[in-house]
């Protein structure tokens, strides 16, 4: 419980202070008054505002005595001016010139009050120079004194207003702190303390901050009370350098780089494509692209069936067709019979279903016609984390963005960033279907035009954030050869190998792609 200067009402909550801007330094009490422990502004229950500040000179009160229960000697108490005054402890605060300005008072019920004016200095800061090898900043006054007891003659100071205002208090002292080679933050090992240490570390000079922790104790005061001054010393000596999220020291990578990686998690069902891409790996994003009607969805279904037949858990999010159409397409490939063209009796469909879908770990998205992007992201994440699917197909990008308003390029950038984040966060392999824009030449993709990365529709982010880009090329009007599809690798982050991977013939009666031998890597009709 915390009380204002003379009150006995009960503490309710923390809130921002309109006087100093502290995010949670202001305290609200049961009788309606507030008191900010950062700027020491008191607002009465009747809304009369005044600041409690002592008039005239502030005097030391009490005397330094050994605090045996705390493990603190009289010498350290005198050094930090921790005085016992009847039934309270007084922590005397000095400005940078060593002039006494105020005192924080703590009673046996752990109720804090404050007399005098705020100094903006760290507790104990006046005792030490503005430069040196190391300074240790703790969360509370008793912690600083405990550290000094364990390591005499080293600069030990504390936050004046606790973890909540730690960042603001440290910011004010950066000119004084930057003269030290190391600034060690030794805050309480709880959620508030860890958060405050992170926030403070970001505003201090880069490369100078270390963070101390103890496994067995919450703070230095607890350790000293237990007679474990050695734990304090070890925590300070072994304090770890602070590095912002995303920065990793090269020296820590030995285990990572010596852990054997298998070349892939699954092989592609087509030898030429497998040779180029070296397989399907989790935590990667593969974009499959082609012109309209070239066979992107059929190609994806073929990959999905191959993975399902191997026992893989697969999620299939088809946004431009019903689950019936998707299921019949997958069954057709598995059974080698096109169930999408003609009507089949219930018994034959049931038999095919039992031999395929009913045996697979397959999960579909039942949301045809519902294209709220946030819903799609949520369902993909659920497929990955809730149902533990490792391979997910998303067909296709343009439909996903149909629920958005604004500039197409910006929308694609945002969408690809979110999808990439999903891949990294969940560890899935995402197969994403995307369209190509029309070419500038006479021949379009439906007429066999060669695909390039620059033709991905809408934004360069599709290519940039994909690990692989696979393009399908086919001339729909070329007569007997119109069923032959050229599979071209446009991007390959794994090995860098690009170019024509294989030729596939599509059998309409079985809905399957059959790989053909590549007679030549060079085709003068398409490769110029």
Read off the pLDDT of each residue in 281-286 and give the average, rounded to a whole number.
Answer: 96
Q: What share of the chain is helix, strand, coil (3-state, %, to 5)?
A: 30, 25, 45
Q: For residue range 449-505, what is the model confidence (pLDDT) as tens digits?
A: 888 888 887 678 899 999 999 999 988 776 554 578 999 999 999 999 999 999 999
| Type and span of the H or E element at 296 | helix 296-309
As a whole number of angstroms, the distance between CA 397 and CA 391 comes to: 17
As a whole number of angstroms, the distance between CA 301 and CA 251 comes to: 44
Specify whether the CB–CB gap between 474 and 485 falls below 8 A. Answer: yes
pLDDT at 51: 40
Better pLDDT: 391 or 366: 391
Q: For residue range 30-45, what is the model confidence (pLDDT) as tens digits?
A: 767 777 766 666 666 6
pLDDT at 57: 57
SS3 38: coil
Read off the pLDDT of each residue in 151-169 and give the average, rounded to a whole number.
Answer: 92
Residue 91 has pLDDT above 60, yes or no: yes
Least confident of 5-19, 124-138, 461-475: 5-19
pLDDT at 55: 36
Q: For residue range 110-130, what is the model confidence (pLDDT) as tens digits?
A: 888 888 887 889 999 999 999
Place of tokens 């694609």: 412
Q: DSSP label at 437?
A: P
pLDDT at 526: 52
Q: What is the percent of the chain with per-residue pLDDT over 90, rounded to a whole number?
A: 58
pLDDT at 137: 97
pLDDT at 213: 94
Q: For residue range 234-248, what is the model confidence (pLDDT) as tens digits?
A: 999 999 999 887 777
pLDDT at 6: 42
Read off the pLDDT of each residue in 168-175 and give the average, rounded to a whole number.
Answer: 92
Shortest CA distance to 75 belongs to which of 127, 110, 115?
A: 127
As a whole number of angstroms, the distance between CA 5 and CA 112 comes to: 8
As a whole number of angstroms, the distance between CA 118 and CA 94 comes to: 9
pLDDT at 41: 65
Domains by residue range for the chain, with CATH: 53-241 (3.40.1360.10), 271-516 (3.40.50.300)
- Of 164-173, 178-187, 397-406, give the range with the top mean pLDDT: 178-187
Paired with 43 in beta bridges are: 34, 49
pLDDT at 119: 80
Q: What is the percent of the chain with per-residue pLDDT over 70, rounded to a whole number?
A: 85
Confidence of residue 17 (pLDDT cuts 50, 70, 90): confident
Residue 149 has pLDDT above 90, yes or no: yes
pLDDT at 9: 59
- The pTM is what? 0.57
Residue 527 has pLDDT above 90, yes or no: no
Q: For residue range 369-384, what is the model confidence (pLDDT) as tens digits?
A: 556 788 889 999 999 9
Q: DSSP label at 449?
A: P
Confidence of residue 13 (pLDDT cuts 50, 70, 90): confident
pLDDT at 291: 87
Specify whether the CB–CB gap between 54 and 38 falls below 8 A. Answer: no
pLDDT at 48: 40
Better pLDDT: 483 or 400: 400
pLDDT at 47: 44
Q: For residue range 409-449, what is the model confidence (pLDDT) as tens digits?
A: 888 888 899 999 999 999 999 999 998 877 666 567 766 78
């Amino acid at each position: 419980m915390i009380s204002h200067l003379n009150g006995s009402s009960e503490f309710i909550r923390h809130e921002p202070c309109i006087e100093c801007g502290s995010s949670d330094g202001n305290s609200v009490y049961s009788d309606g008054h507030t008191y900010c422990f950062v700027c020491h502004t008191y607002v009465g229950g009747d809304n009369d505002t005044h600041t409690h500040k002592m008039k005239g000179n502030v005097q030391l009160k009490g005397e330094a005595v050994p605090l045996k229960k705390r493990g603190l000697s009289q010498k350290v108490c005198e050094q930090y001016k921790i005085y016992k005054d009847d039934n309270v402890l007084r922590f005397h605060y000095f400005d940078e010139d060593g002039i006494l300005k105020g005192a924080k008072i703590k009673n046996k019920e752990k109720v804090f009050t404050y007399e005098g004016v705020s100094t903006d200095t760290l507790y104990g800061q006046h005792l030490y120079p503005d430069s040196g090898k190391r300074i240790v900043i703790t969360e509370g006054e008793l912690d600083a004194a405990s550290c000094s007891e364990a390591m005499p003659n080293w600069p030990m100071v504390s936050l004046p207003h606790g973890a909540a205002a730690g960042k603001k208090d440290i910011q004010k002292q950066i000119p004084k702190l930057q003269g030290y080679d190391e600034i060690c933050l030794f805050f309480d090992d709880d959620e508030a303390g860890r958060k405050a240490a992170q926030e403070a570390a970001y505003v201090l000079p880069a490369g100078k901050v270390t963070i101390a922790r103890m496994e067995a104790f919450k703070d230095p005061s607890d350790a000293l009370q237990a007679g474990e001054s050695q734990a304090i010393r070890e925590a300070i000596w072994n304090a770890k350098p602070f590095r912002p999220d995303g920065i990793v020291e090269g020296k820590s990578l030995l285990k990572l780089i010596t852990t054997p990686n298998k070349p892939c998690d699954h092989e592609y069902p087509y030898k030429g494509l497998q040779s180029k891409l070296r397989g399907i790996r989790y935590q990667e994003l593969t974009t499959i692209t082609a012109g309209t009607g070239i066979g992107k969805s059929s190609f994806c279904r073929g990959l999905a069936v191959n993975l399902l037949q191997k026992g893989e858990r697969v999620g299939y999010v088809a946004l431009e067709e019903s689950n019936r159409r998707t299921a019949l397409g997958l069954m057709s490939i598995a059974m080698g019979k096109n169930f999408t063209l003609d009507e089949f009796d219930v018994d034959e469909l049931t038999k095919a279903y039992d031999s395929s879908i009913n045996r697979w770990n397959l999960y579909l998205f039942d949301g045809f016609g519902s294209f709220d992007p946030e819903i799609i992201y949520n369902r993909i994440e659920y497929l990955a984390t809730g149902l533990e699917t490792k391979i997910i197909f998303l067909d296709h990008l343009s439909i996903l963005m149909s629920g958005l308003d604004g500039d197409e390029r910006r929308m694609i950038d945002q969408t690809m960033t979110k999808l990439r984040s999903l891949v990294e966060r969940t560890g899935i392999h995402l197969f994403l279907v995307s369209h190509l824009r029309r070419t500038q030449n006479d021949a379009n993709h439906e007429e066999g035009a060669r695909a390039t990365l620059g033709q991905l529709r809408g934004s360069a982010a599709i290519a940039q954030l994909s690990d692989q880009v696979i393009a399908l090329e086919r001339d729909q009007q070329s007569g007997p050869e119109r069923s032959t599809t050229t599979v071209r690798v446009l991007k390959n982050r794994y090995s860098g190998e690009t170019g024509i991977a294989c030729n596939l013939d599509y059998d309409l009666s079985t809905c399957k792609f059959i790989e053909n031998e590549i007679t030549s890597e060079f085709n003068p009709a398409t490769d110029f």
